[in-house]
């Protein structure tokens, strides 16, 4: 029963995500969907990415949360346009919400929109929101078994960020196991070990994301 229901929602979501992707293509905007557990450090990572990418790109942020506007306030304090999307209980963001929110931004002036998805290692991975690429954030304190236990989130992603890497000495986290499990479900996408808090490893990640954004925007230019 439940599977049939999800299927219906997802077919509908697929139509809308195509429309979102088309709108973004016309505006030459790269949408980046950032997913991970509650407390993986997604907002902190976005904050640090903004600081390092804002010279080259004009950035906006959609902050997804069940309730509250704590994260949108953190982003807005950087003078970055931010919209808080409250799902009022829903455990993931759907393309319909992105479609609804996009007109809130001055789209002609934007290059990149970061979407911070609901903190959840399960449901968000099932919903295409029209993104150009996905980043999954896993943090050291969560444990090295999460890839085996929540495979879809690590399979359907373009990049894995292993965050809070500075905490490695304090937790029983087997890096080799995590890397092996990741390669098992996702042989291609890169893995970055970073601490958004201390800055460790951020240069390589920022270089990768900047390159991806340029590719996406250039691709649109070539096509358009």
b/e per residue, 131-142, with b = 16+ CB within 10 A? bbbbbbbbbbbb
Residue 194 in the binding site for its own copies (CB under 8 A): no
Among 22, 68, 77, 183, binds its own copies (CB under 8 A): 68
Which range of residues in 19-27, 101-109, 122-130, 210-218 is near its own copies by CB under 8 A? 122-130
Nearest to 130 by CA among 6, 8, 25, 11: 25
Q: Contact letters (x/-) for its own copies, 22-41, by CB under 8 A?
A: ---------------xxx--
Q: Which is nearer to its own copies, 21 or 146 (CB)?
A: 146
Pick from 14, 22, 77, 170: which binds its own copies (CB under 8 A)? 170
Among 34, 85, 110, 119, the residue binding its own copies under the rule CB under 8 A is: 119
Comparison of 28 and 69: residue with beta carbon closer to its own copies: 69
Distance of CA 54 to the CA centre of its chain: 17
Encoded tokens for 141 = 């304190």
Residue 1 touches its own copies, criterion: CB under 8 A:
yes
Asked if 2 interacts with its own copies (CB under 8 A), we say yes
Tokens of 48: 């640090």
Q: Is 120 in the site for its own copies (CB under 8 A)?
A: yes
Choose which of 122, 168, 179, 217 interacts with its own copies (CB under 8 A): 122
The conformational region for residue 164 under phi > 0 = left, psi -120 to 50 = alpha, else beta, is left
Complex with its own copies: residue 68 or 190, whichever CB lies closer: 68
Candidate list 84, 139, 186, 195; residue touching its own copies; CB under 8 A: 139
Binding footprint of its own copies on the chain (CB under 8 A): 1-2, 5, 8-9, 12, 37-39, 65-68, 70-71, 89-91, 118-123, 126, 139, 141-143, 145-146, 148-152, 164, 167, 170
């Amino acid at each position: 029963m439940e599977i049939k229901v999800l299927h219906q929602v997802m077919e509908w979501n697929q139509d809308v995500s195509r429309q979102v992707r088309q709108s973004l293509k016309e505006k030459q905007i790269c949408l980046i969907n950032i997913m991970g557990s509650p407390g993986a450090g997604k907002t902190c990572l976005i904050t640090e990415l903004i600081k390092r990418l804002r010279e080259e790109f004009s950035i906006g942020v959609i902050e997804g949360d069940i309730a509250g506007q704590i994260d949108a306030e953190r982003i807005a304090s950087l003078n970055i346009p931010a919209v808080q999307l409250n799902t009022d209980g829903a455990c993931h963001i759907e393309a319909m919400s992105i479609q609804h929110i996009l007109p809130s931004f001055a789209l002609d002036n934007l290059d990149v929109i970061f979407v911070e998805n609901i903190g959840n290692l399960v449901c968000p991975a099932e919903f295409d929101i029209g993104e150009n690429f996905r980043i999954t954030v896993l943090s050291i304190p969560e444990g090295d078994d999460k890839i085996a236990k929540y495979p879809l989130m690590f399979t359907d992603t373009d990049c894995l960020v292993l965050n809070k890497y500075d905490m490695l000495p304090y937790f029983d986290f087997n890096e080799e196991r995590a890397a092996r499990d990741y390669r098992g479900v996702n042989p291609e996408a890169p893995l970055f070990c970073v601490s958004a808090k201390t800055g460790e490893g951020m240069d390589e990640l920022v270089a990768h994301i900047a390159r991806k954004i340029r590719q996406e925007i250039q691709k649109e230019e070539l096509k358009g």
